Structure 1
């Protein structure tokens, strides 16, 4: 079959998809393009505002193993005459350029592609050629959701261009239920059109239940559960210690053996190993990171612990305040950060201070480990804060990462009060005037150089501990 025949077959199959969609009353029509006002962090000064405003591309948090997730939603694509596809390609490269140095995955929501908004096949081919090894090396998975016969035909067209190695990264999911098993689904930005389509498909297949509108309540946690439970739960099970055991153990280990590791927290670890360590911790069994021979295992475990907290460490309440950091005058940003963290609940404040103190120590070794405060912020920003619904938008990354960078870089100045310690009750705030301000700077300087004190961890009842 010639190339032209394949292209014609692809167009026919796409038209069939539209007929099927119409019969399901879901209609493969592109959604109304979101306006700038719908995304408070998207500015009209964005270099690709004309494309970004549609919401086609989103950075949707991280998967279960700390890899950045980028979603591409066809249902958000307007008709071709309303979208400059050359600009779309440039915007795609612009976005990926911010993440390709680390492991990442792409989720492609196929639903919504139709004859009106479909890019030309020549554009698709040139796009694939544009993405050289720089983009393919750290792409760990390409998830195609709701594939149709059109995708199969498209694959045959591109087959001469696609390497066997890249082909192994592609996984097809017929429904969102399958996708849930691979990603942090609550952080994923799934368009409403895709959700409705998935529910309709589910109801048409006998023996398959429709996805529930809400996630069913979780099972009661194990007495020794460490992941996916609240800070309060861990405190109650850990004799009142505010620092969760997993956080304390990983920080202790990395402080002793990982500070000079290049790319600490940026590299991924074996998926099977991470799952095994999580299982051991949750079952209250001992964990010895020396057994795994990979310093990146405890680093990934630390990030996974933060990401799986039921509520973000910085709290949902602080999300909008943090997004506003870019509108604050540069000279006042540290004070703004201090005000936000001083308003956190006492438990969150203590854990955050402990973590940021350690990351500050990591950043001081950046000549060796290449992880300065900016690089660490890119890794930890989305693990510390996310909105109450969905995931942070692509344009929210700048303020979230900036806020995190300030917490790390100016840890000693931010986590202090006029007396050099947070007052009981968690509501003390540093004064910006006179001697009070100087007290913050002085105590901050000392705490920036010295790591937070590490108390011996209280043993959990049958809980895992570092050997």
Structure 2
């Protein structure tokens, strides 16, 4: 899904902002959840983007939040830091406290958002516009995730905008190639949203994002202290070659 959006989204006006056909979204979700083979080339990119970010779908449906609900207040506090350099440093420190699989998924997600933002003259989606659309789906406390509440909206938008605009500094210079044609193929196999191979922390890894409901551990230790497979085993699988 991320690969498909990365290819089509930069040239689609209003990607993540424009509403998609509700029936088409429901049918796509049913196919993905049932394990059927899905040919995304026959789908509207607006539908795919809506399913990815939707209030009851993949991103918001990750228990514990991709940013970790335990760190929720600390992430929001990044927006209160002095200058941009201090904000970037604070964000990097918080990333180090996330499980490795969370960081990998964030790398791919923000790689896509950065690519879309780079074509904002065509798609009308600046970093701010993207942040308004995506922030409520990826930043939430344990209560707001389950209840669908959108508190601290301004701070959420400011943080996501910061991450998009500074993603090369925060996530690494190679983030722009993670979903490029040379590093991945959009193979819509059963349940697979993204399959790619890319070095991470100087080690070759295979990343598979699976569209299935699964629980993220609310454990904020670094990856060096735990088995990464225990966090998102059916949603994001990371293996070292």
With normalisation by structure 2, the TM-score equals: 0.69
Shift of 1:456: 4.1
Partner of 2:19: 268
2:51 corresponds to which of 283, 290, 301 = 301
Shift of 1:257: 2.5
Which residues of 2 match residues 22-37 of structure 1 at below 5 A? none
2:135 corresponds to which of 371, 381, 401 = 381
Q: Does 1:366 align with 2:117?
A: no
- 1:289–1:297 CA contact under 8 A, matched in 2: no
1:311 corresponds to which of 58, 64, 70 = 64
Does the residue aligned with 1:308 lie in a helix, a strand or coil?
A: coil
Partner of 1:180: none
C-alpha distance after superposition, 1:87-125 (max 9, x if no partner): xxxxxxxxxxxxxxxxxxxxxxxxxxxxxxxxxxxxxxx
Does the residue aligned with 1:406 lie in a helix, a strand or coil?
A: helix
- 2:115–2:176 CA contact under 8 A, matched in 1: yes
Task: Return closer, same or farther for 1:393/1:323 CA change in 2, 3 Å cut-off.
Answer: farther
C-alpha distance after superposition, 1:228-275 (max 9, x if no partner): xxxxxxxxxxxxxxxxxxxxxx22222222311110110111111111
C-alpha distance after superposition, 1:179-199 (max 9, x if no partner): xxxxxxxxxxxxxxxxxxxxx
- 2:2–2:108 CA contact under 8 A, matched in 1: no
Task: Return closer, same or farther for 1:371/1:311 CA change in 2, 3 Å cut-off.
Answer: same
Does the residue aligned with 1:307 lie in a helix, a strand or coil?
A: coil
- 1:361–1:451 CA contact under 8 A, matched in 2: no
Counterpart Cα distance in 2 of 1:393 and 1:330: 29
C-alpha distance after superposition, 1:147-180 (max 9, x if no partner): xxxxxxxxxxxxxxxxxxxxxxxxxxxxxxxxxx
Task: Kindly indicate whether structure 1 or structure 2 has the higher relative contact order, using CA contacts under 8 Å at least 6 residues apart.
Answer: 2
Counterpart Cα distance in 1 of 2:80 and 2:23: 43
Shift of 1:393: 6.2
With normalisation by structure 1, the TM-score equals: 0.37
- 2:37–2:188 CA contact under 8 A, matched in 1: no
Counterpart Cα distance in 2 of 1:275 and 1:255: 22
Which residues of 2 match residues 445-464 of structure 1 at below 5 A? 447=174, 450-452=177-179, 454-456=183-185, 462-463=190-191
- 2:107–2:175 CA contact under 8 A, matched in 1: no
Shift of 1:278: 0.8
Task: Return closer, same or farther for 1:260/1:397 CA change in 2, 3 Å cut-off.
Answer: same
Does the residue aligned with 1:305 lie in a helix, a strand or coil?
A: coil
Which residues of 2 match residues 57-206 of structure 1 at below 5 A? none
2:159 corresponds to which of 403, 410, 426 = 403
Runs of 4+ in 1 over 6 A off after TM superposition: 457-460
Partner of 1:324: 77
Partner of 2:204: none
C-alpha distance after superposition, 1:392-444 (max 9, x if no partner): 8665111111111111111110124xxxxxxxxxxxxxxxxxxxxxxxxxxx3
Partner of 1:255: 6
Partner of 1:340: 94
- 1:322–1:399 CA contact under 8 A, matched in 2: no
Structure 1: 5+ residue runs without aligned partners?
1-249, 417-443
Counterpart Cα distance in 2 of 1:268 and 1:380: 13
Partner of 1:412: 168
Shift of 1:325: 2.0
Shift of 1:371: 0.6
Shift of 1:312: 1.1
